[in-house]
Amino acid sequence: MVAPRGESRSDTWIVFELAKRLGLAEQFFGGDPESALAQMLVPTGLTPEDLRAAPGGIALQLETRYRKYEQNGFATPSGRLELHSERLRGVGLDPLPDYVASNVLPDPRFPLTLTTAKWLQYCHSQQRNQPSLRKRMPEPLVEIHPETAETRDIRDGDWLEVVTSMGAMRARAKFDHHLAPEVVCAQYGWWQYPDGSGDANRLIDGECFDPVAGSNCLRNVPCQVTSVAA
């Protein structure tokens, strides 16, 4: 284990401290992470002290139960697997899954469509300061179809700029023959550059979100891509 540097804190510490300062400690095990861990371990018969005493791990002989839904049903109001969601209907939303066309209007300035994705080398926006991981992916990448790149004088590995109505970011071009020619795919989480130039969040409208799930519009953003000098 490495001791925290400076004022750095774990995600768990941050979450529990936020809960306490917002008056939500009772919903977070009294604001005590140790108590939370102990409660989570109750079904196993172990305690946090047991785990600390066995840094190599503890193998448990647990019973695997199949078809648990036959005993207690599913976690829905009806207890059944619902294609017609009673919860959604109860809040005035369409209870059936249906395709809803995007309300993004065509814009001749942005003929391409930006989507974003996570890459396996990193966990969300973390660990880009780890040398072993940074060697595997030293710079942000944007996947682009070779035909699309050719019309823009972009070569594989060139620095390029992705522009939307919200902002711009820079990244290295990575050719992908399997990508649709009208689509480019950027990585998220590259906030480390001083000017934020590698961060795909600069391209996303923070006021655009799904009314049901609440997620941002990360998959269908009109954009343009151009080659830039490194």
pLDDT at 158 over 70: yes
Instruction: Check residue 134 and give its pLDDT.
Output: 83
Instruction: Check residue 28 and give its pLDDT.
Output: 96
Distance, C-alpha 98 to centroid of its chain = 24
pLDDT confidence tier of residue 229, bands split at 50, 70 and 90 = low
pLDDT at 59 over 60: yes
The string of pLDDT tens digits covering residues 26-55 is: 999 999 999 999 999 998 999 999 999 999
Topology given in CATH for the domain delimited by 112-227: Barwin-like endoglucanases (2.40.40)
pLDDT at 207 over 90: no
Percentage with pLDDT > 70 across the chain: 96
Cα–Cα distance between 32 and 150 in angstroms, integer?
57
pLDDT at 230 over 70: no
Give 137: exposed, middle or buried? Use CB within 10 Å, 0-12, 13-18, 19+: middle
**pLDDT (average), residues 145-165:** 96
**pLDDT (average), residues 89-114:** 88
Highest mean pLDDT among 61-70, 71-80, 149-158: 149-158
DSSP string, 158-213: -EEEEE-SS-EEEEEEEE-TTS-TTEEEEES----STT-TT-GGGGS-TT-B-TTT
The string of pLDDT tens digits covering residues 70-100 is: 998 999 988 999 999 989 999 999 999 888 8
Instruction: Check residue 120 and give its pLDDT.
Output: 79
pLDDT at 1 over 70: no
The string of pLDDT tens digits covering residues 161-196 is: 999 999 999 999 999 999 999 999 998 888 766 666
Cα–Cα distance between 10 and 16 in angstroms, integer?
10
The string of pLDDT tens digits covering residues 123-135 is: 777 777 888 888 8
> What ranges make up the beta strands (E) of 22-111?
none
Whole-prediction pTM value?
Answer: 0.71
Please, where in the chain does CATH 2.40.40.20 lie? 112-227
